[in-house]
Chain A
Amino acid sequence: MTTEVSRGGSAYADAAPQLLDSLFYAVSHDLRSPLLTVSLSAQLLEHTLADVEVAGADEAIGGLKAACDDLERMLAAMNALSRASRRTAEPLEVGVAKLCPGAAPDATVTLDESTSEELRAAIPDGAVAAIEGGSALIRWPLADVGDIGPSPLTALAGSLHTYAGGPVEALACLEIALDRHGGAMEVVESHVILRLPLSGSPS
Chain B
Amino acid sequence: MNRGAPIVVVDDDDAHRDLVAHLLGVVAPESSVLALGPEDGDALAELAPFGALVLLDRRLGSRDAREIIRPLRRARADVEVVVMSAFVTPEDRVICHAAGAHSTFQKPGDLNGWRSVLMSLFDDDQPALQAA
- A interface with B by C-beta (< 8 Å): 28-30, 32-37, 39-41, 43-44, 47, 68, 72, 79, 83
Contacts and interface: CB of A to CB of B under 8 A. Distances in A.
Given A33-B107, A37-B19, 14 more contacts: A29-B87, A32-B87, A33-B86, A36-B16, A36-B109, A37-B13, A37-B15, A39-B109, A39-B110, A43-B110, A44-B19, A44-B23, A68-B109, A72-B109
A40 B110 contact: yes
A32 B13 CA distance: 11
A32 B132 CA distance: 15
A55 B4 CA distance: 37
Given A33-B13, A33-B16, A34-B16, A40 B87 contact: no
B22 interface: yes
A40 B13 contact: no
A68 B111 CA distance: 14
Contacts of B110: 39-40, 43
B109 A40 contact: yes
Interface residues of B, number: 16
B116 interface: no
Nearest to A76: B87
22 contacts: A29-B86, A30-B86, A32-B86, A32-B87, A33-B107, A34-B15, A35-B109, A36-B86, A36-B107, A37-B13, A37-B15, A37-B16, A37-B19, A39-B109, A39-B110, A40-B16, A43-B110, A44-B22, A44-B23, A44-B26, A68-B109, A72-B109
A95 B26 CA distance: 53
Contacts of B87: 28-29, 32, 79
A34 B13 contact: yes
A28 B13 CA distance: 16
B2 interface: no
Contacts of B109: 35-36, 39-40, 68, 72
Interface in B7-21: 13, 15-16, 19-20
Contacts of B26: 44, 47
A87 to B, nearest CB: 11
Contact of B19 (A41, A47, A72): A41
In order of increasing CB-CB distance, the 3 nearest A-B pairs are A32-B86, A39-B109, A37-B16
Interface string B60-101: 000000000000000000000000001101000000000000
Contacts of A34: 13, 15-16
Contacts of A43: 23, 110-111
Contacts of B15: 34, 37
A43 B114 CA distance: 11
Interface string B101-120: 00000011111000000000
